[in-house]
């Protein structure tokens, strides 16, 4: 039997699995969608730097002890955003040489070393790993980490607000993954005005992955973003916009985008990277997409090629981004940026 795709491989090994994107945000991809992605019937939805960054958890359901295993994979995508079959088959071949067909057998140190040297395996950043662990524990109805109680206590105001060092990123991630537990949404609403910069920024980084943010918490985050901007805490203002990037209250997020694009934040290149990297779904609104490109061309033309290439690779945006190239009503700066994009000349910084 030919095993060419990851889903073929997992099914042959009689494993059940779940797939998460880790490249942009920690986002679940349904098994049915991933099967089509693996078979090149669908493009990968969230590519970044011409790669798919995947968190794959798998287990054998026929075993009494359902141990879950996790692989973090970095697989290349082609110009159409399709997962390269050759990369999948190369990865499968390396795993089978190391482990045989028993994917859930005991992991010896030697085996772990051999798998770690696989060029398609990567280690996520600490913040992504923390939120991935927190989301996994919630999705599989497992307890939160041992850091959770201290984090809840801190955000509840039961400690001094400057005593945040001991809670750690994992505790913050656990609170964010459990917004619908222990009245955590209201706890965070109450805490936001009091947080020092460091825990505020860490909280924002963990909230950006959450689809359960209710409208009250979304409004409180937007209000805090405004306060941070007034205080010239630009990085916190940007991260608080990112915090809303998965929130269902899109109207609140769009209003914050509108406020920030009309502020001094457009002189900060991190703002543009934030929109492309985390808040790209806002740009499905073609009016906002055009305003984004106009502001980018006028204020950070050297970033234009990089962010254009990043956005055009996202399947949900591809046609809308390409349509921007055909618009006749545009500023001289945007026309020049587009011209340089096609000439291959890098604009001056």
- Mean pLDDT, consecutive 10-residue segments, the chain of 349 residues? 82 88 96 96 96 92 72 94 92 78 54 70 93 95 95 97 93 98 98 98 98 98 98 98 98 98 97 98 97 97 95 96 92 93 58
Asked whether 177 and 131 are in contact (CB, 8 A), the reply is yes
As given in the structure block, the two tokens for residue 130 are 């923390």
**Cα–Cα distance measured from residue 328 to residue 108, given in angstroms and rounded to the nearest whole number:** 62
pLDDT at 11: 86
**Cα–Cα distance measured from residue 300 to residue 208, given in angstroms and rounded to the nearest whole number:** 25
Supply the pTM of this predicted model: 0.92
**Cα–Cα distance measured from residue 279 to residue 268, given in angstroms and rounded to the nearest whole number:** 16
Q: How far is CA 331 from the centre of its chain?
A: 32
Co-location of 85 and 195 in the same domain: no
Co-location of 192 and 298 in the same domain: yes
**Cα–Cα distance measured from residue 215 to residue 324, given in angstroms and rounded to the nearest whole number:** 32
- Residue 298 sits in which domain range? 126-343
Co-location of 168 and 294 in the same domain: yes
How many distinct structural domains can be found in the chain? 2
Per-residue DSSP letter, 325: T
Can you give the three-state secondary structure of 203-247, one letter per residue?
HHHHHCCCCCCCHHHHHHHHHHHHHHHHCCCHHHHHHHHHHCCCC
Q: How far is CA 123 from the centre of its chain?
A: 15
Rounded to a whole number of angstroms, the distance between the first and last alpha carbons of the chain is 54
Give a yes or no: residue 349 inside a domain. no
Co-location of 164 and 109 in the same domain: no
pLDDT at 347: 44
Q: Which helix (H) or strand (E) segment is 149 a member of?
A: helix 148-155
Could you give phi then psi for residue 232, rounded to 5 degrees?
60, 30
Asked whether 191 and 221 are in contact (CB, 8 A), the reply is no
**Cα–Cα distance measured from residue 223 to residue 237, given in angstroms and rounded to the nearest whole number:** 10
Co-location of 247 and 282 in the same domain: yes
Report CA dihedral (204, 187, 220, 127) to the nearest 10 degrees.
10
Q: How far is CA 326 from CA 77, 299, 335, 343, in A?
A: 26, 21, 10, 16
Single out the residue of 150, 126, 153, 141 nearest to residue 177, CA to CA: 141
Q: Which helix (H) or strand (E) segment is 17 a member of?
A: strand 16-21
Co-location of 65 and 164 in the same domain: no
Q: How far is CA 35 from the centre of its chain?
A: 21
Final residue of a domain: which of 58, 84, 116? 116
Within 267-344, where are the H helices?
A: 269-277, 286-299, 304-312, 318-324, 332-343
Q: Left if phi > 0, otherwise alpha if psi is -120 to 50, otherwise beta: which for 215? A: alpha
Single out the residue of 278, 218, 223 nearest to residue 248, CA to CA: 218
Co-location of 81 and 160 in the same domain: no
Co-location of 138 and 186 in the same domain: yes
Give a yes or no: residue 121 inside a domain. no
Co-location of 234 and 307 in the same domain: yes
């Amino acid at each position: 039997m030919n095993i060419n795709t990851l889903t073929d491989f997992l099914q042959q090994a009689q494993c059940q699995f779940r797939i998460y994107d880790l490249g942009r945000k920690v986002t679940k991809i349904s098994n049915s969608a991933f099967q089509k992605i693996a078979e090149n019937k669908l493009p990968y939805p969230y590519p970044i730097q011409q790669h798919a960054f995947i968190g794959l958890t798998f287990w054998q359901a026929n075993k009494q002890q359902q141990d879950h295993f996790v692989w973090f994979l970095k697989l290349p995508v082609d110009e159409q955003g399709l997962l390269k079959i050759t990369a999948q088959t190369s990865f499968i071949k390396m795993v089978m040489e190391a482990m045989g067909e028993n994917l859930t057998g005991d992991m010896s140190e030697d085996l772990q070393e051999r798998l770690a040297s696989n060029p398609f395996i990567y280690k996520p950043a600490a913040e992504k790993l923390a939120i991935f662990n927190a989301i996994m524990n919630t999705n599989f109805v497992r307890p939160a980490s041992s850091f959770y109680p201290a984090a809840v206590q801190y955000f509840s105001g039961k400690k001094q607000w400057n005593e945040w060092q001991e809670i750690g990123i994992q505790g913050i991630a656990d609170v964010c993954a459990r917004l619908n537990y222990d009245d955590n949404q209201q706890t965070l609403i109450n805490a936001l005005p009091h947080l020092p910069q460091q825990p505020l920024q860490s909280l924002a980084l963990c909230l950006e992955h959450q689809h359960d943010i209710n409208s009250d918490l979304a409004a409180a985050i937007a209000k805090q973003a405004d306060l941070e901007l007034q205080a010239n805490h630009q990085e916190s203002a940007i991260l608080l916009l990112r915090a809303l990037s998965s929130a269902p209250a899109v109207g609140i997020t769009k209003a914050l985008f509108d406020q920030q694009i009309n502020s001094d934040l457009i002189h900060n290149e991190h703002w543009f990277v934030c929109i492309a990297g985390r808040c790209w779904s806002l740009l499905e609104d073609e009016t906002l997409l055009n305003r984004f490109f106009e502001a980018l061309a006028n204020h950070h033309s050297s970033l234009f090629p990089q962010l254009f290439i990043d956005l055009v690779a996202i399947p949900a945006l591809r046609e809308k981004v390409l349509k921007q190239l055909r618009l006749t009503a545009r500023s001289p700066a945007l026309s020049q940026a587009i011209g340089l994009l096609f000439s291959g000349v890098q604009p001056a910084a």
